[in-house]
Amino acid sequence: MEDVRLAARILVIEDNQANMDLMAYLLQAFGHALLPAGNGEGGLAIARRERPDAIICDVHLPRLDGFGVVAALKRDPALRAIPVIAVTALAMVGDRERLLEAGFDGYISKPIDPETFIGEIERYLPHAGDPEDARFPTHSVERHVTADEMKTHPSRANRRNNGDHSDR
Ligand code: MN
pLDDT tens digits along 6-38: 689 999 999 999 999 999 999 999 999 999 999
Average pLDDT over residues 64-83: 97
b/e burial code for range 28-48 (CB count within 10 A of at least 16 → b): eeeebebbbbbbbbbbbebbe
Residue 150, pLDDT score: 46
CA 110 / ligand 1 centre spacing (Å): 11
Does 168 have pLDDT greater than 90?
no
Residue 4, pLDDT score: 58
CA dist., res. 25 & res. 117, Å (int): 11
C-alpha angle with apex 51: 37 to 90, nearest 5 degrees? 50
Residues 6+ apart with CB under 8 A from 51: 78, 79, 82
pLDDT in tens, 131-160: 555 444 433 433 344 444 444 444 444 444
pLDDT in tens, 36-59: 999 999 999 999 999 999 999 999
* Residue in 66, 7, 10 with CA at minimum distance from that of residue 39: 66
Q: Taking a C-beta distance cutoff of 8 angstroms, is the pair 76, 45 a contact?
A: no
CA 65 / ligand 1 centre spacing (Å): 8
CA 140 / ligand 1 centre spacing (Å): 34
Task: Give the global pTM.
Answer: 0.73
In this structure, the number of other CB atoms found within 10 A of the CB of residue 136 comes to 17
Q: Considering all CA atoms of the chain, what is the largest pairwise distance in Å, rounded to the nearest integer?
A: 56
CA 129 / ligand 1 centre spacing (Å): 36
- Sheet of strand 33-37: strand arrangement: 33-37, 9-13, 54-58, 84-88, 106-109
Q: Taking a C-beta distance cutoff of 8 angstroms, is the pair 6, 96 a contact?
A: no
CA 60 / ligand 1 centre spacing (Å): 4
Of 2 and 34, the one with more pLDDT: 34
Residue 126, pLDDT score: 73
Residue 5, pLDDT score: 57
CA 43 / ligand 1 centre spacing (Å): 13
CA 90 / ligand 1 centre spacing (Å): 11
